[in-house]
Each structure stands twice: as structure tokens, then as C-alpha cells.
Structure 1
């Protein structure tokens, strides 16, 4: 089936990456299956994470259908693009429809992208995983492919201004070996094992990242445990309580 929207959007994204002079370091794309269904699972630190997750699948000639909140599909600009690329809207009050849609796509051999943290992590640390990705993989009989991105928060994240100028920002992407999701195992246990793998890759991506903050005012994009000034999980919870 012709991809009348997805492929032009990929071309536009690549043009923007070149204009911004991003330094993209992507390793492990060969772990994404060349055929058949799979669930890509990534950490979530930026509004642009899905673009870089999708970029990692291109060497395998795969297009990823991402599950995203339904509000994005109602936007006058992003909505037609998201629908044209066959991404999957998720209404959190009626999640069954999105789950069934994703399951059908997996069974037809599509690659589905999921952010099991559900929302952007403002601490830039890994939050707990919801079990939906594991349950999808179990029911469809497909593997889970863990991924980690780092540096994307410096382009556009929650609570910070967008940085769409020529910034030479490094973006690090790591794709891990598939994690099986046997039907006879508890989905929560599979999710915990998957989270451990994503955490390992996130730490590897952070170690490989070539840039350090330029000064005290540039530490916002680093989590506190790495010496940055991003809010901690405890600080975020306290702010929500207030």
C-alpha cells in the first residue's frame, strides 16, 4: 500500500535534521525485525521522541505506527498528518478501542511504537511502565524491542522553550535485542524486565553522549543524579500535590 503521507514526512524530517545540523548517533537498528509485527518500546523525554524512534527503524525498511494521545489527532495541523501516517489515537477514557486497533495492526505485520511511561518524564529519568505494551506483544505473539533516546529533550520538551535553530545538538539512539513476551508469563513481570533493559540502554546512551552543559544555566536538561537541575521525581510529586 502506498504511503502518500508517511514518506514525504520522513523526507521533511531529514531535511530539518540537516538544517538543524543534529549529530545523530543511532546504534542497534538491526535489532528491529525486517518483517512481521513488533512492539517498539522507548523512554519518553521529548515531544519529538517518536520521530527519532521511527528514524531508527528506517534502515530495516520499517515504518512505525505510534500510539499517541487522541488530542494530537484533533489538532488542525498534526491531526491529518497523524491519520495519514496511520498512527493510533489513544483516548485514555476508552482505551479498549486503541488496544484493539494496535492488536490488529500487529497481527497484520505492522510495527507499533509505544511509550509505556504514558507521559513525558520531566525528571528525564525512567518512570514506571504500564503493562499495555507487554500485553499487546503477548496477545499478538510478537517481540518487544527496547529503545532509548537521549538529547531529544534539548530540542523540545515539557516546560521548556523549543530549540529549532541550527544548534548542532547531539541525539543518541540505542536499540536493544528483542525481548520475548510468552503468553504464560505475567505481563507485569515482562514489563519490569523490559524496563530494566530500557534503563540499561538509557544509561549507555547517557555515557556515550558527547556534550556536557556549557554552564550553570545549561544544566536543566540533565537529571539531578547526573549533576543537572531537572526536577526530581519527589519535587514533581510535591508540585502536583500543591
Structure 2
């Protein structure tokens, strides 16, 4: 039994017991071949819930600090996150984005599922922010379809992205997957910035439709800094 299978067997029932997640459109994730899952990002536990409810293992980029802790808590976190599919990458500095992109491409070239939050960071206020074009580069360079998804209610379970998740009335979670988006019509145009922006905006429009969030035409990092 793989560590991922073990973690799903251990934590999947707990997720259903405490949060009763409603999952819609799970059948939209292809059963095989490379797939990009692209969605909104409201709070820390998004990256815990997505791998546990997906029918295929989802690989995603995470901060390397999640796996470098030497305390007992740090080692448990490292065991869990690497087990569910997190790939630690040092994202600070000018090369962080390139490292994340190349890591995603390697995952897709192996025919696996790669998860990404196009906003680049958690939403500072629950609204949906402008997507970064790394998502477009991934799909155009790999030829993989994009399955958009929406996390709904996770920010009520873990407000601010910190602390233990809350359980109780009114805190039910919904994860909604849309139909795969095919961008093969743009093959070979992964260096055209207008194409990259058009592909990214199409993905974000679908995420907005699925999530029902208000859209803000600004990068979340800029909004957070302001």
C-alpha cells in the first residue's frame, strides 16, 4: 500500500465525518493521462482537502518550509504533505516561479495530475483575483487539459488560513469541478503573452463561475501588500 493510499484511508473518513464535503463534478477529472487542476485558494486546508477527495493523486507545489521542520510536529507535517503529493520548492527569489513551472511540467510529462492555484497565493478577502500566466504555460507546453475547480466554504472552516479547522453548523465545504478545458488550438504559442493572458483569463472565468466569487482584476499579492 502506498503512503498516499494509506493517508486517504486514514484521513478520508475523518474529512467526511467532520466537514461533510459536498463534491460535484468529480467525474470531470480524466481517469488517466496528464491533467492540470486549477482553482481558487481561500485557506491553508485547501491543499489538504483537494488530494483527499480527488480520485487520482494530485501533485502540487508547496513551500519547502513545510518539510524542513525538525521538531516532531515538523516531521509529521513533512510525512503528511509529501505523502499526499506535495513537492517542496523554494519559491523565494527570482527563480522560484521557473522552478515551480519546471516541476509542474515534469509531473505532467509523467502522465500525472498537477494542481495549481493560478492566483499565486491565498485570497486576502474571499474574492477571486487575477490569475498568473504560469497556468497557461503549463497547459500549452504539456498539452494537458485543464480541469477548473472551486473551493467553497473552506475559509469559514479555517478563517485567515491559520489555526485548527473549525467544525459545526454552517461550515460545510463544497468542492466543485468543471468540465476539462482544451487549449490545443494554441499549440506552439506558449511564448505569446497575449495568448497566455487569454488562456489564463478563460480558466479564471470558469473558476469564477464555479465558485460564485466576485472577481478582482488585480493580483492577490498586490492586494495583500496594500
Contact 1:47 1:157 in 2 (8 A): no
Aligned residues: 207
What does 1:126-145 align with in structure 2 at a 5 Å threshold?
A: 126-145=128-147
What does 1:146-185 align with in structure 2 at a 5 Å threshold?
A: 146-158=148-160, 161-165=163-167, 169-181=171-183, 182-185=186-189
Distance 2:63 2:24 in 1: 28
User: What's the counterpart of residue 102 of structure 2?
Assistant: 100
Instruction: Report the alpha carbon displacement of residue 83 of structure 1 after superposing the two structures with TM.
Output: 2.7
Contact 2:12 2:52 in 1 (8 A): no
Q: For 1:127-180, what per-residue CA distance to the aligned partner results, in whole angstroms no more than 9, with x for missing partners? A: 111111221111111011100011111222426653344557311111001112
Contact 1:23 1:168 in 2 (8 A): no
User: What's the counterpart of residue 79 of structure 1?
Assistant: 78
Q: Within the alignment, does 1:65 sit opposite 2:74 as a pair? A: no
Instruction: Report the alpha carbon displacement of residue 25 of structure 1 after superposing the two structures with TM.
Output: 1.3
Show structure 1 runs of 5+ residues with no match: 207-222, 226-232
Distance 1:80 1:29 in 2: 26
TM-score, length-normalised on structure 2?
0.80
Structure 1 pair 167–74 and aligned structure 2 pair: CA distance change class (3 A)? farther
Distance 1:160 1:99 in 2: 27
TM-score, length-normalised on structure 1?
0.75
Show structure 2 runs of 5+ residues with no match: 190-194
> Which residue, 7, 10, 25 being the options, matches 1:9?
7
Distance 2:8 2:57 in 1: 10
Contact 2:57 2:85 in 1 (8 A): no
More deviation, 149-158/112-121: 149-158
User: What's the counterpart of residue 192 of structure 2?
Assistant: none
Contact 1:38 1:111 in 2 (8 A): yes
Contact 2:152 2:173 in 1 (8 A): yes
Instruction: Report the alpha carbon displacement of residue 27 of structure 1 after superposing the two structures with TM.
Output: 0.9
User: What's the counterpart of residue 45 of structure 1?
Assistant: 42
